[in-house]
């Protein structure tokens, strides 16, 4: 338990119907009694009950707002401490005045993520669950939201602990073998434990293999729309966005800066980026736009190269394709409402790894097919919606290190080496696994993780 009491506004900045102020610490009930005036007389504040009344200024006695309050006594609270929540009207001036009164009554301002940090330190949640809280707040897609909720409910932690339990079982056998090597007792058969370790390592690698999919669910997909000037990139962006976001003219080079649009596609957050037409230019502004376009294409998960089907496949198109040959590509043959001078089959033969889609951004033809292509390859419509996937880079690195140590332990056992060697490797594996759930996370790790939270969470 922490020794002081913290307070913060828990709802987003700006006006709203209601706003919530959260207090945590051993002075929560005292603050409530000093500032809250219930509508009906109550002898005792019951835990986890809502009470209606007024919040007053502790110095002047003036009413600040008509509110609902709930006192949740620890350890049955979010932080494990006494927690007070005050639901006010959502005017920022009201919320700030109530927060000021709470601070004057003995609380201090909470640091970013401090409520969740206290929940972790008081063993209400583990570190993986704590990080899931931040992911739940910032999720950009339905799939990212689901995975954050799974992690918050402890499903990822349960799978990690299952792997850990097997490691502990094998380590116990190895340490028994070390401790009683000179004793006249019958030791367990080592042939039972190597398969246990191998199976646990396999389970761990299966979890690790979900990271690429999980990172997409968490961070979303970046798709750059590239091509020569005036091939219809901005028109395509507008169709994908479902509204006019980019200026469309017949003048080549209209788009100079990046235009970004976030679209939810089958539960996956996709950021489409319209870029400047790629060509040689003597104008400094346009050259800078082309440079930025090439940089963003190099960083993208997928590049849609738009080709003017009515004009034909030109050398500039080939050069743009060659610049992105190491990227995942979709070749979008646009302007199919006009007679085509591009053979989609020849394009497919030219770049066998890229999909070729014929469309008309002007008439909204082929746009759904393009969306299905983007969402399909990157997880849209995935039947494994209920699976837990790894979404956090820190978790991936810790799990990878643990599995590499466990692999070395298994190899040592298989070749009949002294039990001290695999025992050491399994101890290292357990230390790495503990970083995921936070059993041995240092203060520097915790400070870094919780500093990324918003204040009030």
Domains and CATH numbers, the chain: 6-124 (3.30.1360.120), 129-210+390-438 (1.20.120.430), 217-377 (3.40.50.300)
Q: What pLDDT was estimated at residue 56?
A: 95
Q: How confident is the model at residue 252 (pLDDT cuts 50, 70, 90)?
A: very low
Query: pLDDT band for position 448 (50/70/90)?
Result: confident
Q: Look-up: residue for tokens 């996709």?
A: 270
> Which has more pLDDT, 341 or 190?
341
Please report, rounded to a whole number, the percentage of residues in the chain having pLDDT higher than 90: 44
Backbone angles phi, psi at 129, to 5 degrees: -70, -40
Q: Tell which residue, 397, 356, 455, has the closest CA to residue 108.
A: 455
For residue 37, list its beta bridge partners: 54
Q: Which residue in 337, 355, 335 sits closest to 347, CA to CA? A: 355
Cis peptide, bond prior to residue 409, ω within 30 of zero = no
pLDDT, averaged across the chain? 85
Residues β-bridged to residue 20: 87
Helix, strand, or coil (residue 227): strand
Q: How many CA atoms lie within 13 A of 168 on its CB side?
A: 9
DSSP calls for 295-356: HHHHH-SEEEEEEETTT---HHHHHHHHHTTTS-EEEEEE-TTS---S-HHHHHHHSTTSEE
pLDDT in tens, 97-130: 999 999 999 999 999 999 999 999 999 999 999 9
pLDDT of residue 180: 60
Contact between 453 and 112 under an 8 Å Cβ cutoff? The reply is yes
pLDDT tens, residue by residue, 331-361: 999 999 999 898 888 888 888 888 899 999 8
Question: Of 206, 353, 226, 342, which Cα lies nearest the Cα of 279?
Answer: 226
Question: Could you identify the residue written with the tokens 């058969």?
Answer: 189
Contact of 420 with 78, CB cutoff 8 Å: no
Q: Which of 24, 40, 321 is nearest to 32 (CA)?
A: 24
Q: How confident is the model at residue 291 (pLDDT cuts 50, 70, 90)?
A: low
Q: What whole-number percentage of the chain has pLDDT above 70?
A: 88
Q: What band does 446 get if pLDDT is binned at 50, 70 and 90?
A: confident
CB 163 within 8 A of CB 204: yes
Q: Which residue has the higher pLDDT, 434 or 184?
A: 434
Question: Could you tell me the two tokens for 410?
Answer: 């298994």
> Would the pLDDT of 306 be above 70?
yes
SS3 string of 157-226? Answer: HHHHHHHHHHHHHHHHHHHHHHHCCCCCCCCCCHHHHHHHHHHHHHHHHHHHCCHHHHHHHHHCEEEEEE
Do residues 203 and 163 touch, judged by C-beta distance below 8 A? yes
Q: Could you tell me which of 119, 221, 174, 172 has the C-alpha nearest to residue 446?
A: 119
Residue with tokens 């969740």: 116
Q: 165-191 as b/e, with b when 16 or more CB fall inside 10 Å?
A: ebbeebbebbeebeeeeeeeeeeeeee
- Residue holding tokens 């639901």? 87
């Amino acid at each position: 338990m922490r020794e002081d009491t913290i307070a913060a506004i828990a709802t987003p900045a700006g006006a709203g119907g209601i706003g919530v102020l959260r207090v945590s610490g051993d002075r929560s009930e005292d603050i409530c009694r000093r500032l809250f005036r219930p509508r009906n007389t109550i002898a005792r504040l019951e835990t986890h009950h809502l009470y209606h009344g007024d919040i007053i200024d502790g110095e002047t006695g003036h009413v600040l707002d008509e509110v609902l309050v709930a006192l949740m006594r620890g350890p049955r609270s979010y932080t494990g401490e006494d927690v007070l929540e005050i639901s006010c009207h959502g005017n920022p001036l009201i919320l700030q005045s109530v927060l000021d009164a709470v601070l004057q009554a003995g609380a201090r301002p909470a640091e970013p993520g401090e409520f969740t940090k206290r929940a972790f330190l008081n063993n209400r949640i583990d570190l993986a669950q704590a990080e899931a809280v931040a992911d739940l707040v910032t999720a950009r897609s339905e799939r990212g939201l689901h995975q954050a909720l799974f992690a918050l409910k402890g499903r990822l932690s349960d799978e990690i602990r299952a792997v850990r339990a097997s490691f502990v079982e094998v380590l116990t056998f190895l340490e028994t073998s070390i401790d009683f090597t000179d004793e006249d007792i019958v030791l367990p058969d080592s042939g039972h434990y190597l398969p246990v370790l191998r199976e646990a390592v396999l389970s761990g690698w299966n979890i690790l293999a979900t990271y690429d999919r999980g990172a997409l669910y968490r961070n979303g997909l970046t798709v750059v729309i590239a091509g020569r000037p005036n091939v219809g990139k901005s028109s395509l962006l507008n169709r994908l966005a479902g509204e006019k976001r980019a200026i469309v003219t017949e003048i080549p080079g209209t788009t100079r800066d990046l235009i970004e649009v976030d679209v939810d596609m089958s539960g996956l957050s996709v950021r489409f980026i319209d870029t400047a037409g790629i060509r040689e230019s003597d104008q400094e502004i346009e050259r800078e736009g082309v440079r930025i376009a090439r940089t963003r294409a190099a960083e993208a998960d997928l590049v849609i190269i738009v080709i003017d089907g009515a004009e034909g496949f030109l050398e500039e198109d080939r050069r743009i394709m060659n610049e992105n040959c190491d990227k995942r590509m979709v070749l979008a043959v646009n302007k199919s409402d006009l007679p085509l001078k591009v053979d989609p089959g020849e394009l497919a033969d030219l770049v066998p790894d890229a999909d070729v889609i014929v469309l008309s951004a002007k008439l909204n033809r082929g746009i759904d097919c393009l969306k299905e292509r983007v969402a399909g390859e990157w997880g849209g419509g995935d039947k494994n919606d209920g699976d837990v996937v790894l979404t956090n880079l820190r978790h991936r690195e810790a799990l990878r290190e643990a599995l590499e140590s466990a692999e070395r332990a298994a190899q040592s056992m298989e070749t009949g080496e002294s039990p001290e060697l695999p025992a050491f490797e399994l101890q290292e594996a357990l230390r790495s696994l503990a970083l995921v759930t936070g059993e041995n996370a240092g203060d520097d790790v915790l400070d870094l993780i919780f500093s990324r939270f918003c204040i009030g969470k």
